[in-house]
Amino acid sequence: MRYWLMKSEPDEVSIDDVLAAPQRTVAWFGVRNYQARNFMRDGMQPGDLAFFYHSSCAEPGIAGIVEIAGTAYPDATQFDPDSHYYDPKATLEQPRWISVDVKALRKTRLVSLKELRTHPELEQMRLLAKGSRLSVMPVEASEWAFIDSLLGRA
C-alpha cells in the first residue's frame, strides 16, 4: 500500500462533497500537471490511502482521508469543450489526462499547513518543500503514521 496527498479546492470539491456523494465516491478530475498525472497513472493502486487536502482557501490543510477506489482512466473533462479543464490536444484515441475514483473514509479535524510546518518529523514532506504546488503527491509511510497520530489514530 502507498500513501498520497491529494489537493482540492473546497469550492470545487470538498471532503463534505465526497462524503455526500453516492457510495461516498467521486472522480478525481482536472489534474493538469504531468508529474501529478504520472503519480495517479503509474503509482496509485486501489486500496491506497490519501489525505484529502483543502487548498486555495482561507485555511489550507488536511481535511479527511480517502481511499483510491479504482485504477486510472481517461478524465472526461479533457474532451468537453465547455469544461474549464478542456484540452483540445486530447483525443479519445490518445487521452492526455486521467482520473481516479476516490472514496471518502472519514472527515478529520483540519490539520492546517501552518500546523504541519511546526513538526520537525515532517520537515522532509514534499508538501512542505519550498515552491511545492503539486496537486497529487506521495506521502512517506513515516509521514503518514505521524500525521495519523496527530489525528488520534496511531
Mean confidence (pLDDT) of the chain = 95
The rounded radius of gyration (Å) of the Cα atoms in the chain is 15
pLDDT at 104 over 90: yes
- The DSSP bridge partners found for residue 112 are 61
pLDDT at 153: 57
In a domain, 90, yes or no: yes
In a domain, 96, yes or no: yes
Cell numbers standing for residue 4: 498520497
In a domain, 152, yes or no: no
| Cα distance between residue 84 and residue 69, in whole Å | 25
pLDDT at 154 over 70: no
Cell numbers standing for residue 35: 508529474
- Closest among 55, 46, 39 to 98, alpha carbons compared: 39
* Region 96-110 average pLDDT: 97
In a domain, 138, yes or no: yes
| Cα distance between residue 133 and residue 150, in whole Å | 23
In a domain, 81, yes or no: yes
3-state secondary structure of 11: coil
In a domain, 154, yes or no: no
Query: Which residue bears the cell 484515441?
Result: 93
In a domain, 61, yes or no: yes
- The DSSP bridge partners found for residue 107 are 64
pLDDT at 74 over 90: yes
In a domain, 150, yes or no: no
pLDDT at 66 over 70: yes
Whole domain around residue 62: which residue ranges? Answer: 3-145
pLDDT at 6 over 90: yes
Q: What is the pTM of this model?
A: 0.94
Note the pLDDT tens digit of each residue in 11-35.
999 999 999 999 999 999 999 999 9
**In Å, what is the CA distance from 94 to each residue of 1, 40, 75?**
29, 17, 12
Residues 6+ apart with CB under 8 A from 149: none
Q: Is 47 exposed, middle or buried (0-12, 13-18, 19+ CB in 10 A)?
A: exposed
| Cα distance between residue 44 and residue 114, in whole Å | 27
- Residue 109 or residue 131, greater confidence: 109
CATH number for the domain spanning 90: value is: 3.10.590.10
Structural domains counted in the chain: 1
* Region 103-114 average pLDDT: 97
